[in-house]
Chain A
Amino acid sequence: MNKSRPIYAPFQFDPSGARHLLVTDQPDPPADLNTNVQTLTARTHTADAILAFLPPHLATQTTGLRLYAIGSEAFVWDVNAIALAAGMGAGEVHLTRAGPLIRRVYCTHCQTMADDVATTITQCPGCGATLEVRDHFSRHHRAFMGVQVDAEAPGEIPAPEGFRS
């Protein structure tokens, strides 16, 4: 097991909170959701709209709030970064991975970020390098590292595969 991969708990309502906000880049929130949970889903908001809504909203909130983010790795870590900047910390933010197995990839050669990458081999939209998407998730960049595959032996490119996790 790759230690640089965050481990996500399945979604669970956290009864220690006094107020609850759930945001997801998926169309539907978890089934049987507690009715006290305010939700923003992809049915009504784009991921970008949710990420834009959060900072000013959290600035008005008081301690006691629980924030749940459900979705792609890129989305939940973007939400986490906003929550940390707002002063939330351990026990107040819960991240759950959901949806298609796509990754945000950080090109280690030109620093370009590519969203929604679905295969282990991909072309960097910035420098055009053929990247192998590593299982290493950088919390700093909130993305997976993409490293040029044929740097040493040009032309030797493994077949792209879908991600298994």
Chain B
Amino acid sequence: MRLRIAEITVLSPGIRKFTLEPLAGLLPAAGAGAHLVFDIPGATRVHKNAYSLIGGPQARTQYEIIVRRVEPSRGGSAWLHEHARIGDILEAKTPQNLFPLAHLAKKHLLLSAGIGITPFLAFARVMRTPFEWHHCSRAEDSAAFAALLPPGPQVTLHTSRNTLNLAAVLGTQPLGTHLYVCGPELFNETVQTMARALGWPESKIHTESFASAAGGAPFIVHLARSGQRLEVAADQTLLEAIEAAGIAAPYLCRGGACGACELPLLQGTPEHRDHVLSPEQRAANKSLMVCVSRARTPDLVLDF
């Protein structure tokens, strides 16, 4: 699917909104929580980055995404910030929704931080069930986020001056509340750990993390079936390295959340960074999610 950049809005020095339109016809409908994976040109290779659609009244004629320039940048967001111009054409996959609202919920509790605001902007537009939304922001971005957040007593913007009291918020939700968490890895971990400690069942905790996945040490991967040896660079994911070699590997979320990219492992020890495998499955050392996970050993051998 090809999309043209119709508008670029600077929301803060590090945050921009992109409005995208189809070259012809209507866009595929995308539910609240859906994201788009783009092919973004880079100096040495194409980056695939996932961005949540923030929804909006013109959802069939325009998609809107918000992009933070990630430091150190993995390429995709830096290109969008520095090189993208109105009229540029981007290649994208049809939107996927791995972060839908739970229909049986009596109430939705949304906890976001930083650029994790984006899927919830789409949620808030379609919400018919009561909800409560707490968004945490660094001081320098708070004005940009304040302008994006919908008005109303159910939405609170937290900065260093009124920090979010997680235990109080998570400890007082009526039965039937579903929790959605979206933000940087540490935020997601902190919220989920606190929720579990307060007795939240897994079935009511929903999370999405787009690996702004800081890379890691480079390593080598051997693909046993095709006999290929690939180098995974420090700022590249294993999935990107496989794709760069011209091999199509399965994926959906590219964020370690859906399990679509699981590949069987023959040798080596992965550094698991996904949210899919259980501790037992990790211990079994039989597979890994190649969209986010890296290697603890110098080499990995995949049955792929």
Contacts and interface: CB of A to CB of B under 8 A. Distances in A.
Interface of A: 16-19, 58-59, 61-66, 86-92
A59 B175 CA distance: 7
A58 B201 CA distance: 16
Contacts of B177: 63, 87
A108 to B, nearest CB: 29
B174 A64 contact: no
Given A16-B196, A62-B171, A64-B198, A91 B176 contact: no
Nearest to B200: A63
A61 B174 contact: yes
A86 B174 CA distance: 9
Interface string B193-212: 00010111111100000000
B106 interface: yes
Given A16-B201, A19-B199, 5 more contacts: A18-B198, A59-B175, A61-B174, A88-B176, A91-B201
B104 A91 contact: no
Contact of A64 (B106, B171, B202, B203): B171
Contacts of B199: 16-19, 63-66
B159 interface: no
B44 interface: no
B189 to A, nearest CB: 17
Contacts of B204: 63, 89
Interface in B165-179: 170-177
B276 interface: no
A155 to B, nearest CB: 49
Contacts of A91: 201-203
B105 interface: yes
Q: Is the interface of B mostly helix, strand, loop or mixed?
A: loop
Nearest to B202: A91
A88 B174 CA distance: 10
Contacts of A87: 104-106, 174-177
Contact of B175 (A17, A58, A90): A58
Specify which of B172, B174, B199, B203 lies most central, judged by the most chain A CB atoms within 10 Å of its CB: B199
A92 B180 CA distance: 18
Nearest to B105: A87
Interface string B22-46: 0000000000000000000000000
27 contacts: A16-B196, A16-B201, A18-B198, A18-B199, A58-B175, A59-B175, A62-B171, A62-B172, A62-B173, A62-B175, A63-B175, A63-B176, A63-B177, A63-B198, A63-B199, A63-B200, A63-B204, A64-B171, A87-B105, A87-B106, A87-B177, A89-B201, A89-B204, A91-B201, A91-B203, A92-B175, A92-B203
Contacts of A59: 174-175
A92 B104 CA distance: 15
Interface in B36-82: none
